[in-house]
Chain A
Amino acid sequence: MTQKNDIRWLPGFNWVTLFFFLFLYLPLIILVVFSFNASRSATVWSGFSLEWYVKAFANDDIQRATKNSLIIAVFATVFATTMATMAALALSRNRAVKNKSLFGGVLILPLMVPEIVTAVATLTFFSAIGLSLGLGNIIIAHSVFCIPFAYLPIRARLDGMDESLEAAARDLYSNKWDTLRLITLPLLMPGILSGAMLAFIISLDDFIITLMVAEAGSTTLPIYIYSLVRVGITPEVNAISTVLLGVSVLIVTAAYLVEKKK
């Protein structure tokens, strides 16, 4: 790249970049920093302490909400990823499926529907059919809206995969199932993993839909945090949020590494 074409040589580039990253990350940095604050204040620094983490981990309500969130996320991830994998295989490999682009579009349409609409629709639907399974309701709702998130990376990976590999396996005496098991799935695994991680984070983080469909006793972590915040921001909230942030960063990094490793 010549100096002239390099965007870094445009006037003011450094300042714009700095501002951009501050804008993005300053709130997060402040949140993390104050989670280690010794006093109750979320605005005035008065020394380092892990007190709030200890408090947060000892809090029964937080423990229960975390457990709920994890149960929901794990089940929703497994369901959504399984569905998404099957959909991706059908839409990119099965010659008998007609109108592939139509189905593909319908599948990712939920990404474009405002979440509040999905939330209201899900709630209405559940009460119409009288479904009341406690956490099950939330798991079903999460599985559904996680499918497109899991689907996209799986489909992208599948489309980038050479179909002649599967042809070669068939040619070498594998039937369809063995080909799926020995060739397609192993090669698709990075896509499946990143799809699953994405679904996991989306589920862990969901607020609006969960708020609508959650029954008493199925409070999740985001909802519990919200209820705390309404009472007032405490470093305890910062501490839970920091842990949540840490988990997300970990998963996203893992997804990135898996994808990069091919």
Chain B
Amino acid sequence: MTSAIGLSGLQKTYPGAPPVRALRNADLAINDNEFFTLLGPSGCGKTTLLRLMAGFEVPTGGKLTLFGEDIAHLPPEKRPINTVFQHYSLFPHMTVLENVAFGLKRLHKSDAEAKQVAQQMLDLVHLADFGDRKPGQLSGGQQQRVALARALAPQPRVLLLDEPLSALDLKLRQSMRAELKRLQRETGITFVFVTHDQEEALAMSDRIAVMSQGEIQQVGDPATIYEFPENRFVAEFIGDADFFEAEVLGGTEYKLSNGALLTGPRTEAAIGSQVTLFFRPEKAELKQSGSGLPGQVSEILYLGNSTDYVVDLAQGGALTVRSENHKDGTALADVGADVVVEIDPAAVRVVTT
């Protein structure tokens, strides 16, 4: 099966002194009918990659295909790809309906057909009665949905969305997440979604590509990205993690840099070599006594549905344990309490740095 969008060795360098290498040798295959997310910190090249797909930038190297066809040098109007812009970019001098019908008219659909499809699209985003308004008379959330309807109306093969939710408040953002998922399912169009919000990415995506400094670090479904990050950047960027430098003792045994021993996964690394271990703070357990790493609670951060306990380890160093409170709402331990941190070997991961 050919992928909806394929990149191989795709590069974009902006001229300047020094030149900015916004995208370096990106290889990626986005499947048809997939909700695919580009996730990464500010400046990592997400928008650049999206603009290359849309046709607003020309790559400086590599290949870009749409269903197997090379599109790297096609102008935007020749690509069956539409974009939802970050600030919506609705045409202020046209009504909502004219905005949504714009792409259809440009594709030489008859006025009647364009109008009818545009109205269907407005129904789809629950704005059926807003067709006669100007974009300036809508709230941010409504403008957002018009932008979606406008981009979906010509039935593109791929829909690109550049941080479409970032200008909305928290509640609206959460309801729009569900809305976007629904639209993707109902239309069957491939969505390429850009965000720097890891929670959003995990909640919505079929697959995620994590980017950093113009490079794709890892591609996978949300659970794989969260549970088995391939390197320290991905582990740190998605969720929280406690890291340790450790020496491989052989088998499943590791010696942490503070001298403590820890059991983890089997590794290919040679005995005596240095590796980085990490685990998610919610996978460790805080105990009054028992086997594990002894220490003292130095700080408590109450998060509502859970609490973070920062534990100073007796042998040096510190780590964070995330735990639910007792059912009656009381904390597991107070600041200053002596505790033992138990880490299940199955929760420990080895990453390359």
Chain B minimum-CB-distance residue to A167 = B56
Interface size bucket, A side? 10 to 19
- Once A164-B85, A164-B89, A168-B85 are accepted as A-B contacts, the answer to whether A173 and B107 lie under 8 Å apart by CB is yes
Q: Hey, what's the 0/1 contact readout for B56-92 against A, CB within 8 Å counting as 1?
A: 1000000000000000000111000111010101111
B91:A175 contact, CB within 8 angstroms: no
B87:A162 contact, CB within 8 angstroms: yes
B106:A173 contact, CB within 8 angstroms: yes
Expressed in whole angstroms, the minimum distance between the Cβ of B147 and any Cβ of chain A is 9
User: Looking at the complex, which one of B75, B91, B150 makes contact with A183 (CB distance below 8 Å)?
Assistant: B91
Q: Tell me how many residues of B have a C-beta within 8 Å of chain A.
A: 23
Total number of residue pairs linking A and B with CB closer than 8 Å? 58
On chain B, the residues within 8 Å of A186 by CB distance are 93
Check if B264 is an interface residue, CB within 8 A of chain A. Answer: no
Check if A100 is an interface residue, CB within 8 A of chain B. Answer: no
- Once A162-B87, A164-B85 are accepted as A-B contacts, the answer to whether A171 and B93 lie under 8 Å apart by CB is no
On chain B, the residues within 8 Å of A174 by CB distance are 77, 102, 106
B77:A168 contact, CB within 8 angstroms: no
Q: How far is the CA of A165 from the CA of B83 in the complex (A)?
A: 12
Check if A172 is an interface residue, CB within 8 A of chain B. Answer: yes
On chain A, the residues within 8 Å of B75 by CB distance are 170, 175
Check if A187 is an interface residue, CB within 8 A of chain B. Answer: yes
A187:B83 contact, CB within 8 angstroms: no
Check if A178 is an interface residue, CB within 8 A of chain B. Answer: yes
A168:B91 contact, CB within 8 angstroms: yes
Check if A233 is an interface residue, CB within 8 A of chain B. Answer: no
Expressed in whole angstroms, the minimum distance between the Cβ of B131 and any Cβ of chain A is 17
A175:B89 contact, CB within 8 angstroms: no
Check if A169 is an interface residue, CB within 8 A of chain B. Answer: yes
A165:B77 contact, CB within 8 angstroms: no
Expressed in whole angstroms, the minimum distance between the Cβ of A160 and any Cβ of chain B is 12
- Once A172-B154, A173-B77, A175-B75 are accepted as A-B contacts, the answer to whether A165 and B89 lie under 8 Å apart by CB is yes
B103:A165 contact, CB within 8 angstroms: no
On chain B, the residues within 8 Å of A172 by CB distance are 77, 82, 102-103, 106, 150-151, 154
On chain A, the residues within 8 Å of B54 by CB distance are 167, 171
On chain B, the residues within 8 Å of A173 by CB distance are 77, 103, 106-107, 154
Q: How far is the CA of A165 from the CA of B81 in the complex (A)?
A: 16
Q: How far is the CA of A124 from the CA of B85 in the complex (A)?
A: 55
Q: Which chain A residues numbered 170 to 208 have a C-beta less than 8 Å away from chain B?
A: 170-175, 178, 183, 186-187
On chain B, the residues within 8 Å of A170 by CB distance are 55-56, 75-77
On chain A, the residues within 8 Å of B107 by CB distance are 173
Q: How far is the CA of A178 from the CA of B91 in the complex (A)?
A: 14
Q: Which chain A residues numbered 50 to 66 have a C-beta less than 8 Å away from chain B?
A: none
B83:A171 contact, CB within 8 angstroms: yes
Q: How far is the CA of A178 from the CA of B106 in the complex (A)?
A: 9
- Once A167-B56, A169-B102 are accepted as A-B contacts, the answer to whether A175 and B77 lie under 8 Å apart by CB is yes
A167:B92 contact, CB within 8 angstroms: no
Q: How far is the CA of A187 from the CA of B90 in the complex (A)?
A: 12
A168:B93 contact, CB within 8 angstroms: no
B106:A171 contact, CB within 8 angstroms: no
Chain A minimum-CB-distance residue to B51 = A167
Expressed in whole angstroms, the minimum distance between the Cβ of A213 and any Cβ of chain B is 41
On chain B, the residues within 8 Å of A165 by CB distance are 89, 91-92
Expressed in whole angstroms, the minimum distance between the Cβ of B280 and any Cβ of chain A is 39
Q: Hey, what's the 0/1 contact readout for B93-132 against A, CB within 8 Å counting as 1?
A: 1000000001100110000000000000000000000000
Supply 11 further A-B pairs (C-beta < 8 A) apart from A168-B89, A169-B91, A171-B55: A165-B91, A165-B92, A167-B56, A168-B85, A169-B102, A171-B56, A172-B102, A172-B103, A172-B154, A174-B77, A175-B75
A-B contact pairs, 24 of them (CB 8 A): A162-B87, A164-B87, A165-B89, A165-B92, A167-B54, A167-B83, A167-B89, A168-B89, A169-B91, A170-B56, A171-B54, A171-B56, A171-B77, A171-B82, A172-B77, A172-B82, A172-B102, A172-B150, A173-B103, A173-B107, A173-B154, A174-B102, A187-B92, A187-B93
The 6 A-B residue pairs whose C-beta atoms are closest, nearest first, are A172-B103, A173-B106, A170-B76, A164-B89, A168-B89, A173-B77
